[in-house]
Amino acid sequence: MLEVRAATEADLESAAECIGEAFAYGDDAQYDAIREEVLHTAHDDPFASLEDLRVGLIDGVVVSTVAVMPRPIYVDGSLLSMGGLAGVCTRASHRHHGYNTAVLRDTIHYIEGRGHDISLLYTGIHGYYERLGWRSFEHGVAHDIIVPNEVAAPPFRGSVRPMRADDDLAAVREIYDVTNRGDAGPVARNAAYWTYHSDRLASYHVAVVDGRVVAYLHDNDSKRIEEIGYLPGAEDAAGALVADVVRRAPSAVERVYLHSSEELLPGIEELGCGVEQLGCDPDGQRGPTMYCIVQPAALLDKLLPRMNERLAASPGAGWTGVVRLQSGVGNVDLRCANGSVTRVPDAGPPAITLHGTHAQTIELVFGQIDAASLVTRPDDLTEDAAAVLEALCPRLTYRYYGPDTF
């Protein structure tokens, strides 16, 4: 009989073998790397604990796993608690018995109990997770930079060099936060998280002006630009870092992948580079990203302080009424009055009702759709009401960096 629970130290080796067997596809070197990563995560990940590794056991042997990867994420300056999922698998010898579904159901209860607001996973089998509550999220834009024969000199008066971790990490951390805290989705990396991933820092370069680091770039062998961060007004420094990557690209590389950073595209084109947008589903298939809102009311409570700041400065600050969000994960009422907003259970007849699916609610939280598109009665959308919705649910840039995936 299957026993489902949190892993213990005694289970860890068996769990690592289970995950390695499932994802190495017979490659011994890959198996060893995965096994070591499981052990490293269980002992050293600054946001995770051994309890976050959920296991199904038969006769003391781990036959199925789900690893919860807790991460704080930014949404327009607010912090949400995300329970990411990784290592979702079952040993080949024990498949088709519902074991992994049992572990996943346990995991759902676990992430609710841990107070996570939202969950993220990556998959190619969407239907399996949809029946358990996750929804596809087709947002986030990437581009290919076409490497030219000659790269124009960028208009930058500083210098570009490899990052020196001991000297530059504090500045890079600050730039990361400045770049990302106002967006939706990126991990809020603390000092321990940067240390945990210190092996990546050898792939970072920085742009320096008058002795100060003003921008950084993380690339993968000059083939992929994983992330770029820069201080306000330092777009030229970011452009210089991109130019440096393109120049460093091996002769066989014709394209360099660029994650996000649409605002830099005009400057990149001025370098003489072509740019092509990559869709989420270039092959007509859905992208791998799926989210699930776990606790909608608690999630909204964490967004309320920023909602209040925006509403107080909005042309709709004088509007009074209730905004009701009806969604596939429950109803939430927000009462607006005197330039502030509060969440009130069953606040009475709403002045505005938004009706969205679970997927649309996720898009709304991450600022990928207009709240006005979900209004059930268009006549309710007065000029002031429209301003209120824009203040409560602004459009945002979605970012989730490849190196932070799991």
Whether the predicted pLDDT of 402 surpasses 90 = no
The reported pLDDT for the residue numbered 286 is 59
pLDDT of residue 252: 86
Q: State the pLDDT at residue 284.
A: 45
pLDDT of residue 279: 63
The per-residue pLDDT of the chain, averaged, comes to: 95
pLDDT confidence band for 74 (50 / 70 / 90): very high
Q: How far apart are the C-alpha atoms of 3 and 62, rounded to whole Å?
A: 9
Does position 280 have pLDDT exceeding 60, yes or no?
no
CB 307 within 8 A of CB 343: no
Residue type, 38: V
Q: What pLDDT does residue 235 have?
A: 95
3-class secondary-structure state, position 375? strand
What are the pLDDT digits (tens) for 114-136?
999 999 999 999 999 999 999 99
Spatial separation of the C-alpha atoms in residues 270 and 265, rounded to whole Å: 9
Q: How much is the pTM?
A: 0.94
* Confidence (pLDDT) at 38: 96
Q: Which tokens is 365 given?
A: 């939280």
- Taking the C-alpha atoms of residue 107 and residue 113, their distance in angstroms, rounded to an integer, is 10
Pairing of strands 321-327, 352-355: parallel
Q: What is the pLDDT of residues 294-307, one digit of tens each?
A: 999 999 999 999 99
What are 336's strand-pairing partners? 321, 341
The reported pLDDT for the residue numbered 285 is: 52
161 Cβ partners below 8 Å, 6+ apart? 205, 206, 208
Q: Cα-flanking dihedrals φ and ψ of residue 141, to 5°?
A: -110, 135
Contact 257, 225 (CB under 8 A): yes
Pairing of strands 184-187, 61-75: antiparallel
Contact between 51 and 41 (Cβ < 8 Å)? no
Q: Is residue 63 over pLDDT 90?
A: yes
* Per-residue pLDDT, 403: 87
Mean per-residue pLDDT, 321-325: 96
pLDDT at 281: 47
Distance CA(14)–CA(9), nearest Å, equals: 10
Q: How many Å from the N-terminal Cα to the C-terminal Cα in the chain?
A: 30
Residues of the chain with pLDDT > 90: what percent? 90
Q: How many residues does the chain have?
A: 406
Task: Please write the tens of the pLDDT for every residue from 192-233.
Answer: 999 999 999 999 999 999 999 999 999 998 899 999 999 999
Predicted confidence at residue 6, as pLDDT, reads 98
Distance CA 134, CA 130 (A): 5
Helix (H, G, I), strand (E, B) or coil at 136: strand
Strand 330-337: give its sheet, edge to edge: 340-343, 330-337, 321-327, 352-355
How many other C-beta atoms lie within 10 A of the C-beta of residue 381?
15
> Which runs of E-coded beta strand occur in 115-267?
118-122, 135-136, 142-146, 159-162, 184-187, 204-209, 212-220, 224-230, 255-259
Residue 148 and residue 273 in contact, taking contact as beta carbons nearer than 8 Å? yes
User: What does the pLDDT read at residue 282?
Assistant: 46
pLDDT at 170 (0 to 100)? 97
Identify whether the C-beta of residue 25 lies closer than 8 Å to the C-beta of residue 63.
no
User: Is the sign of the CA dihedral 344, 345, 348, 351 positive or negative?
Assistant: positive
Distance CA 74, CA 78 (A): 6
